[in-house]
Amino acid sequence: MEELENNEQNENAERREEIFSQTIRAGKRTYFFDVKETRAEEKYLTITESKRRFSNDQGRFFYEKHKIFLYKEDFQKFVDGLNTVIKFIESGEIPESEAIDLPEIMDKTPPPPNSDIKFEDLDPSTEE
């Protein structure tokens, strides 16, 4: 009976590990888009970049991996940001809605503690 329970727990853990996966090979890199599920059955996405590298010290190849976790509540913000960046790369123009007014931000952002920086020193319009 205990063995049956352990098998069920292992199956559940495997189910949580990966529900769906998409692999994209792009030159020297491979990207993995893996849909996983939390114990509360909330789905999330892991994006893994894998690059094959050679270690001169060990004299063999290894895979360097970088991973990000993207949760459901952040999907739309992520997609919007990615689309904005892609449009910029393709056109070279910063979208109007994404333009940042630095003086406005500087006026609202307090300097870090113990900082000798004066925002007036950063404003080019105050130069003589």
For 58-101, the pLDDT digits (tens) are: 899 999 999 999 999 999 999 999 999 999 999 998 877 655 55
Write phi, then psi, for 106 (nearest 5 degrees).
-65, -35
Short-list 68, 35, 63, CA closest to 50 = 63
Q: What is the pLDDT of residue 93?
A: 86
Q: What confidence tens digit (pLDDT) does each residue in 38-50 have? A: 989 999 999 999 9
Burial of 87 (0-12, 13-18, 19+ CB in 10 A): middle
Going from N- to C-terminal start, the domains of the chain cover 2-121
> 103 vs 29, which has greater pLDDT?
29
Say if CB 69 and CB 45 are below 8 A apart: yes
Class of domain 2-121: alpha beta
